[in-house]
Amino acid sequence: MKANLSLIVLFFILFFNPCQSESPNEWIKIANAELERALKTERIIQRPKNVVFFLGDGMGIATSTGARIYKGQINGRNGEEGSLTFEKFPHVGLSKTYNDDAQVPDSAGSATAFFSGQKAALGVIGLNSNARYGNCSSAQGNHITSILEWAQKAGKATGIVTTTRITHATPAGTYAHTPDRDWETYVNGSDDADRAGCKDIARQLVEDLPGRDIRVIFGGGELHFLPTNETDSWSKNLTGLRQDGRNLIKEWRIRKMAAGHGNRSRTISTGAQLNALNASQTDFVLGLFAPSHLSFDLLRANHTPKQPTIHEMTKKAIEILQKNEDGFFLMIEGGRIDHGHHDNHAKLAFHDTVAFDAAVEVALEMLPDNDTLFVVTSDHSHTIRIGGWPGRGESILKGQGVNMGSDGLPFLTLSYANGPSAANNANGSRRNLTGLATDVDVFQQDALVPLKYETHGGEDVAIYAKGPFAHLFHTLHEQHYIPVAIDYAACYRSTAAQHCNKTTAISAAPPAPMNWPSIIRVLVFCLVFILL
């Protein structure tokens, strides 16, 4: 009996010991498991049918690290040991994010780089480096095409999904050409002379190629499509911003009817309408779910009617686009990660990153990874940092009482180099965080330099890839390399490469070594079972 009890104790120590975290042997096992995964990693050499491009706006390395810990902690774990879905992708590289004329980039110049394959100036969309910010005449003759347009010409269905205005910098980078990212709608005013000859971004989406042929358009920004004498679809209190008297939503519907798509095109404005949308009966859809940007994911419950989540928009977009036998190109942006950081609201930024990660997860569930190239990256970083001496499992949003400055005041694990929260300091001294609820939804982490909005960061960001030719992302890359690599893999503009003949050829990975720690554990388990 005593022998049996000893064996039972040994069994639980080996397999179910809840009283400790990772043992020395567990750390060895974790490392060996990672090695095994690395040795089994395949290079898939074939033309992908689909490309899904995920862009976490402002999602630098510190943001993905913080969101990873946050995701684990809201699910009852320490957090550090977990991973975001896209962090498990087998191929990872880095992207240099500077613009043609700026060391620290903005989202417009960056979008031009990772969609069109050329660096551009700060604030410029879809134009090469000859164009100058805010100067319409400099745009003439300097338009460059995007990977979304390349995909359309190759017979692919296309879609864009974002949590920002659909005319905002990143989504606009797929279809628009403008020397000023803020020319989203038509306005009269003192700047009109500078804009003469340059269409606003909303008109380009509705009237021009490739915008008018995009099959799925999900995001916010309804007011940029409405005239000043019409109101929004929800509160009926906000008036449109267009000063040319045009309703571009109605014009979009008229154009689809004229092209013979009237019975298979839809305009929607709520999450309920999105969920009810029959993908099998829809070929074109314009979904504008907010007057401006969609809500932060953590605050969506405050809005009536409820706005859709990014993963709900992603799921519906794929359902519609995958009907195309030749495949599709889909861009999905988690755009409000960036906005959370600009206001020094780390929790909002992290929660939107976790929501963005859920969209990646649903795409992976719906699409075969041997036939779809998934790329996840960011346009730029932010000035947020993770520092101090927090213990394992310490709340990523707290840290006071653990981290103490030489001034005798506590500081948080998260902080910003600049931003509006610096105004909370007084007389050259840091604010005293003692007793403050630092994990509430809209708490502002401390910043050093006072600014109206926190700035972007200039360091490299990560590129995560999975699927055919994902191995092309493997080192430190220029940001404008990204669409060039995707284009090569997908054979949009050229079919010269051998894999473009649609012949499947997957190179096998070398055999993995024996996992002796796991084998020994199984043998011990069997021995215990026999003795019992």
Domains of the chain as residue ranges with CATH: 43-383+455-507 (3.40.720.10)
pLDDT reading at 19 higher than 50: no
Using an 8 Å Cβ cutoff, are 154 and 488 in contact? Answer: no
Q: Give pLDDT, residue 402.
A: 74
According to DSSP, residue 137 is labeled: G
> How far apart, in whole angstroms, are the C-alpha atoms of residue 146 and residue 176?
9
| pLDDT reading at 3 higher than 60 | no
Q: Confidence band (pLDDT; 50, 70, 90) for 514?
A: very low
Least confident of 93-107, 422-436, 508-522: 508-522
**224-252 average pLDDT score:** 97
User: What pLDDT, on a 0 to 100 scale, did the predictor assign at position 399?
Assistant: 77
Per-residue model confidence (pLDDT) at position 193: 52
- pLDDT score recorded for residue 490: 98
In the predicted structure, residue 506 carries a pLDDT above the cut 70: no
CA nearest neighbour of 464 among 50, 188, 90: 90
The dihedral built from the CA positions of residue 261, 262, 263 and 269, taken in this order, carries a sign that is positive
Q: Is the pLDDT of residue 190 over 90?
A: no
Q: Which residue has the higher pLDDT, 418 or 19?
A: 418
Q: Report CA Rg, the chain.
A: 25
Q: How far apart are CA 320 and CA 279, in angstroms?
A: 5
Annotated catalytic residue 235? no
Residue numbers in the known binding site for Mg(2+) are: 57, 168, 170, 333
Please say if the pLDDT value at position 529 is more than 70. Answer: no
- CA-wise closest residue to 422 among 353, 501, 365, 343: 343
pLDDT for res 521: 56
- Output 472 or 304, whichever has higher pLDDT: 472
Instruction: Kindly state the average pLDDT of the residues 387-409.
Output: 89
Q: What is the pLDDT of residues 200-224, one digit of tens each?
A: 999 999 999 999 999 999 999 999 9
> Is pLDDT at 318 greater than 80 in this prediction?
yes
Q: Quick one: what percent of the chain has pLDDT higher than 70?
A: 89
pLDDT at 12: 38
User: Does residue 317 register a pLDDT over 70?
Assistant: yes
User: Mean pLDDT highest for which of 187-196, 399-408, 432-441?
Assistant: 432-441
* Lowest mean pLDDT across 34-48, 140-154, 171-185, 325-339: 34-48
Taking CB atoms within 8 Å and a gap of at least 24, the contacts of 510-517 are: 510/39, 511/39, 512/36, 512/39, 512/40, 513/35, 513/36, 513/39, 515/32, 515/33, 515/36, 517/25, 517/28, 517/29, 517/32
User: pTM of the predicted model, to two decimals?
Assistant: 0.90
Q: Are 515 and 32 in contact (CB under 8 A)?
A: yes
Binding-site annotation, residues for Zn(2+): 57, 338, 342, 379-380, 456
Residue 195's pLDDT is what? Answer: 74
The catalytically annotated residue of 107, 146, 381, 421 is 107
Question: What is the predicted pLDDT for the residue at 22?
Answer: 84
Distances in whole angstroms, Cα of residue 374 to Cα of each of 96, 188, 284, 469: 20, 42, 23, 10
Kindly report which listed range (102-116, 267-281, 456-470, 499-513) carries the lowest average pLDDT score.
499-513
